[in-house]
Amino acid sequence: MSPQVLDGKATAAAIKAELTERVAALRERGVVPGLGTLLVGGDPGSTWYVNGKHADCAEVGIASIREDLPQSATQEEIEAAVERLNASPDCTGFIVQLPLPAGIDSNRVLELIDPDKDADGLHPTNLGRLVLRMSEDIDSSLPCTPKGIIELIERHGVSLRGKHVVVIGRGTTVGRSIGLLLTRRAVNATVTLCHTGTADLAAHTRTADVIVAAAGVPDLVTGDMVKDGVVLVDVGVSRVADPETGKSRVAGDIAADAVAKSSWYSPNPGGVGPMTRAMLLANVVESAERSLA
């Protein structure tokens, strides 16, 4: 059978439609979910990303709260903006757009976020809850990209229960946190975490039922490294020059000959990216819903 697409765009659109209904129900009860963003400086990529988040909010009825500071903002000024968002009753969740300018203690800034308003799900308190609560419900935000990956797979009818998942990459956003979600009893997968220090990566990937590639290395996973019928989730983002046009394009971690052997695969772009944005909205809505409990 031909590989089938894990369509992140269509799945995210379905989730947004569901969130629109939930936001309307919250508004009827007098609660308006609000997403806050803290952007320091005018980096075009960061500005585009933040603007996209607020466009998503408008699409589902979530209010937008912005804190935009100049590149010259001091540690104290950035921390004061975090405290304003923590204190704002209109903000039910917010993110600090990274990277922050050179010389700013980013970890200190991120740890000042109220865990109950942590829209990214990466605050140390919330990650700690994820570590501790293997079987119990988790009443705080989950990391957006790992949460989105699992949603993407399961909404296409693919079970992860009992599957061997190989994760490539050990970054906080995906690699270090997705294993915590995948090994919860609700999912019950078995996880192998690989990275740049892994000897003989192919020996691990050839046994995988599912591969989550988040290394940021173009075409890292090739056809000779995967078995037939594998599920491939491409999270890596690199830019490479198109040999025909000379223009740069987005490239993922998974090569075309590996995709050809898969049963399901996520395109890149159009796979995990839209799901990450949808999960950010979901975290903000869920935070607002918890406030009524």
Active-site residue, 97 included: yes
DSSP H helices, 61-218, are 75-87, 106-111, 124-132, 144-154, 175-182, 201-205
Q: Which of 66, 3, 57, 125 is nearest to 278 (CA)?
A: 57
C-alpha distances in angstroms, 185 versus 32, 45, 132, 161? 33, 38, 12, 9
Active-site residue, 120 included: yes
Cβ(114)–Cβ(90) under 8 Å? no
Question: Coil, strand or helix: which one is 231?
Answer: strand
Task: Give kind and range of the element (H or E) at residue 34.
Answer: strand 34-40
Q: Which of 120, 209, 234, 253 is catalytic?
A: 120
DSSP H helices, 155-265, are 175-182, 201-205, 256-259
Q: Cα–Cα–Cα angle for 13, 86, 69, nearest 5°?
A: 80
Q: How many residues does the chain have?
A: 293
Active-site residue, 56 included: no
Q: Which of 56, 97, 147, 234 is catalytic?
A: 97
Q: Which of 7, 53, 118, 163 is catalytic?
A: 53
Write out the catalytic residue numbers: 53, 97, 120
